[in-house]
Structure 1
C-alpha cells in the first residue's frame, strides 16, 4: 500500500470539526530509513503506523509516520540490527512486566499498524512444510479474494475502498551515536479465538471499529491499563492461502499476497 492509499484508507471523522479528516504524513527529518511499499513487510522493514498528533503537538488528531517493524531496545548500543532480540511481537499477557515494552506503554507510545493484512503459517504434519496464509479484514462491496483491488474514494464518505487491517502496537524512538533517530514498533498479540485458532494459537490485537482506534491512540485521556482492557480477539477477518514466495523476506513481488489453489 503506497503513501497516498494509506492516507486515504485512514481518514476519520473529527467530531470537533464535524468533518472527515486525513491524518498528516510525517517523516522524522533525522531518520535515515525511508518507506517503500511492499506486499511482504518483514522485521526491519519500514511501514506506516498511526499515532496521536499530541505526540508532536500537531493540530491534526492523527499522524501517519513510517517506522521500522521490530522495536529497537532503548538500552541498545551499536548498530540497530545487532540487538539480537525478537521484538516484532509483544505478548499482551506480559506487557506490564516487560523490560522492553513497559516504558513505551507507560509513556503512552501506542500506535496503530496500518496494513493490507498479515501472513501466518499453518503447521503441517511432521516433515511437511508450513502453508502460508494471508489474513485480512473482511471486505465490503468489493471482491473478497483480492484485498488490493483499486476503488475510487469519495472524499466526503466513510467508504474508503478496500478495508485495511488495523493492529494495536507500541512504538519507541532510539538514537544512534550519529544522532540519527530510529522509530520502531511492535505488534501486540494475544491468544487466538475460534476464528483463527486452526491457523495459529496467537493473533494480533486487531482494532475493529473507529472507537477502538480512537481509544487506543488517545493516551492523554485513556490510561494504559484501560486501553489494554479494550483489546479483544475479533472475528472480522478472512484469509486465503498464498505462495511460499512469502517465506523469503526478500521477495517483494505483488504475487506474495495473491490467493492460490491448494492441491
Structure 2
C-alpha cells in the first residue's frame, strides 16, 4: 500500500479491513466510493493506493458458481483508504464503485481502478476532500477499462487451504470483453 506519511510517499503493509464499530470482530473490506466519506467508519481515513495484480469475482449465471480473475496489462492501482486502529496497527480498505465494462457482466461493483494521473490526484486529495469524493464515485476511465480482462479460473481459489499458481492458470475460457 502506498500513502503519504510526513509529506513523503511510503510503501508499506497494512492489515486488511477496517473494524466495524457496530459489530465487534467484523471488518469492512470495501468502502463504497459514493458514500464512504459520509460514514463514520471511514471519516478519519486517509487516501492510499492499493497495488494488485487483479481480483476475483464469482459468477453463477450458468447455475454453478465460477470464479473469474480480473487483471490488467500490469499491476493495477486501486483507490484505497488507510487509518490507524488505535492500537498501533495500520488498517486498509479498497474503495469500490459501480461496475463498468468489461466487468459489469460479472458483478455490479468493482474496485476503483485508477490511472497514473488519477492515482496522484487521489493521494493529493486530502482527507475527505472533494477530489476524493468525486474520484471515488466515478467509474474508471476508458484507458483503464481497455486493459482489464476477465477469465475463468480454478474453483479451488476459494479454498484458503489450497494455494499455487496453477489455480489461476485459467480454465481455457477467456471472455472477450472488448468485442461485445
- TM (normalized to structure 2)? 0.82
Unaligned runs of 5+ in 2: 174-180
Q: Is 2:139 aligned against 1:228?
A: no
Change in CA separation of 1:193 and 1:219 when aligned onto 2, cut-off 3 Å = closer
Larger Rg: 1
Which secondary structure does the structure 1 equivalent of 2:103 belong to? coil
Change in CA separation of 1:246 and 1:202 when aligned onto 2, cut-off 3 Å = same
Change in CA separation of 1:167 and 1:253 when aligned onto 2, cut-off 3 Å = same
More strand by share: 2
**CA offset digits 1:127-157 (Å, max 9, x no partner):** x3311011111x2xxxxxxxxxxxxxxxxxx
RMSD across aligned C-alpha pairs, in angstroms?
A: 2.2
Alignment equivalent of 1:198, drawn from 66, 89, 105: 105
Structure 1 residue runs of 4+, over 6 Å off?
none
**CA offset digits 1:202-243 (Å, max 9, x no partner):** 1110012x21111111145x8622223134323131121110
Q: How many residues align?
A: 167
Find the aligned partners of 1:253 and 1:164 in 2 and give their Cα distance.
19
Aligned to 2:177: none
Change in CA separation of 1:97 and 1:51 when aligned onto 2, cut-off 3 Å = same
Find the aligned partners of 2:161 and 2:130 in 1 and give their Cα distance.
38
Alignment equivalent of 2:56, drawn from 116, 119, 141: 119
Change in CA separation of 1:250 and 1:88 when aligned onto 2, cut-off 3 Å = farther
> What is the deviation of 1:102?
1.7
Aligned to 2:77: 166
Q: Is 2:15 aligned against 1:68?
A: yes
Aligned to 2:119: 213
Which secondary structure does the structure 2 equivalent of 1:215 belong to? helix
CA contact (8 A) 1:190 1:205 kept: yes
Q: Is 2:70 aligned against 1:135?
A: yes
Find the aligned partners of 2:6 and 2:86 in 1 and give their Cα distance.
17
